[in-house]
Copies of this chain bind each other. A is one copy, B any other.
Amino acid sequence: MESLLNNIARYIQLEDDEKEYFLSLVGEKKVRRKQLLLQEGEVCHHSIFVKSGCLRGYTLDKNGDEHVISFATAGWWIADMYSLITRKPGQLFIESSTEAHLQLLTREHQEKLFEQIPKFERFFRILTENSLVATQQRIIDNLSLGARERYLEFIRKYPSLKDELPQKHIASYIGVTPEFFSKMMRSLPE
């Protein structure tokens, strides 16, 4: 359980009244597992902060197969960035993998924050930079590593998720079918 204010305090320092104002713009939401928070074709209006639990972002390809784009565990943010910043319908689905406690910030309120408390512009600039680095690393891994090594990368990066998620979602994240994943696990010690 990581609080939103703690998350922010990693990068910027807020006065008490700024914290209060910020929290006044944030919505709370509790969801059960397997709840759909965003669907393909919808405009994504919120950045979602995960206080507890785990969300999953995925797309559906033209054969109806899912491709997991990202997981967000406690302390992480998730959104359909394309849709959020263009305000156009996106292709991402966002669904809870577990029951989860969320905090929501609309893009509108986020932009209000940028105007009124420039420190937030810094906070989200840093968050976005970190996210970009992680995303680029994933492209490098996809281009340079085989499935087995991508899996080892995955458990190094998200050790807690290994036993908490259905294998097929992990398989999808690393880019293989559940059948192949199963075969691969047979040959991995442990």
Residues of A in contact with B (beta carbons under 8 Å apart): 59, 61-62, 65, 67, 69, 81-82, 85, 91, 114, 118, 121-122, 124-125, 128-133, 135-140, 142-145, 175
Contacts of A129 in B (CB 8 A): 81, 85, 128
Contact B139 A142 (CB under 8 A): yes
- Judging by beta carbons under 8 Å apart, are A132 and B128 in contact? yes
Q: Please, which residues of chain B bring their CB within 8 A of the CB of A122? A: 114, 121
Q: Are A81 and B121 in contact (CB under 8 A)?
A: no
The verdict on A144 contacting B81 (CB below 8 Å), with A69-B136, A135-B139 known, is: no
Distance between A132 CB and nearest chain B CB, rounded to angstroms:
5
In the complex, the answer to whether B81 meets A140 with C-beta atoms within 8 Å is no
Q: Cα distance A62–B144 when bound, in Å?
A: 8
Q: Give complex CA distance A138, B175 in Å.
A: 13
Chain B residue nearest to A90 in the complex (CB): B133
Supply 6 A–B pairs (Cβ within 8 Å), ascending by A.
A62-B144, A67-B144, A81-B133, A85-B130, A125-B125, A128-B128
Is B121 within 8 A of A82, CB to CB? no
